[in-house]
């Protein structure tokens, strides 16, 4: 398994995939993916934190689009 296999499923935009293809060193590609996944992780953590705040505020229990497990 190489960085190309991981990159295909890592949620990169088309521009980011092209940028990754321009890197010739495997270590550089892995570092690029590591930075991308760290950014995604921060966004996911922020979203989860927001969901927790919404759950605490009872007005949003019937909000469509969020799958809250109450």
Q: Which domain holds residue 45?
A: 3-60
Give the pLDDT score at 30: 93
Q: Rounded to the nearest 10 degrees, what angle do helices 14-21 and 26-56 cross at?
A: 160
pLDDT at 12 > cutoff 70: yes
Per the CB < 8 A criterion, the answer to whether 69 and 54 are in contact is no
Measured CA to CA in angstroms, residue 48 lies from 2, 54, 56 at distances of: 30, 10, 13
Q: Would you say residue 66 lies in a domain? A: no
Q: Could you give the number of structural domains in the chain? A: 1
Q: Would you say residue 39 lies in a domain? A: yes
pLDDT at 60 > cutoff 60: no
Per-residue pLDDT reduced to its tens digit, 15-57 = 999 999 999 999 999 999 999 999 999 999 988 888 888 777 7
Q: Would you say residue 43 lies in a domain? A: yes
pLDDT at 2 > cutoff 90: no
pLDDT at 62 > cutoff 70: no
Q: Would you say residue 29 lies in a domain? A: yes
């Amino acid at each position: 398994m190489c960085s190309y296999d991981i990159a295909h499923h890592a949620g990169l935009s088309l521009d980011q995939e092209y940028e990754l293809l321009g890197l010739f060193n495997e270590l550089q590609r892995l570092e690029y993916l590591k930075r991308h996944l760290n950014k995604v992780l921060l966004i996911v953590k922020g979203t989860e934190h927001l969901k927790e705040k919404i759950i605490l505020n009872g007005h949003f229990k019937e909000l469509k689009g969020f799958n809250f497990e109450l």
